[in-house]
Amino acid sequence: MKIIIGIGGVTNGGKTTLTNRLVKTLPNCCVVHQDDFFKKPDQIEVGEDGFRQWDVITALDMEAMINTVRGWQENPVKFARSHGVSLSPEAEKADSEEKGVHILIVEGFLIYNYKPLTDVYDKCFYIAVPYEECKRRRSMRTYTVPDPVGLFDGHVWPMYLKHRKEMENSCANIHIDSIKIN
């Protein structure tokens, strides 16, 4: 049996923390992180707000991401092995996904805003964090490309609200109080 779980939500909401905990707990569990599909910085547009548009779907190579998910769907055993994931003894013995349960977690901030992805989830979870907590967490993180002054209030949070509204209009979800995930 194959199960695909989506874990989406706000930036710095705890998606990766939750995902990492699930991977340690669940057998035969692989992950696709949306952050691994960002385009190169010189391919990211500068918007009318003066900021590079990292928080939009066009900043991501979504075709590559969906192809990665399809690779798992075609053969989760081969996918797990090629990504260094330990399989249960049952799954290791049989070179077939028919043995046991195979889980894929797709994790990211815009995973419910791309129709080809929304069609693959068996379960959807969404992590919401209040504005002040999100801003505090973001200020504590170090990014490869540092946040310019004003980015959170001028771009990140407004884009989050925009994308969340789009997602709510197109996808059923479950909200988790991320403040308790620590």
Tokens of 59: 């900043």
Secondary structure (3-state) at 1: coil
Which residues partner with 52 through β-bridges?
A: 46
The amino acid sitting at 147 is D
Catalytic choice (35, 49, 153, 177): 35
Q: Give yes or no: 35 in active site.
A: yes
Q: Where are the alpha helices (DSSP H) in 26-178?
A: 62-74, 76-82, 89-93, 115-118, 131-140, 151, 157-170
In the beta sheet, which residues pair with residue 103?
A: 3, 29
Active-site residue list: 35
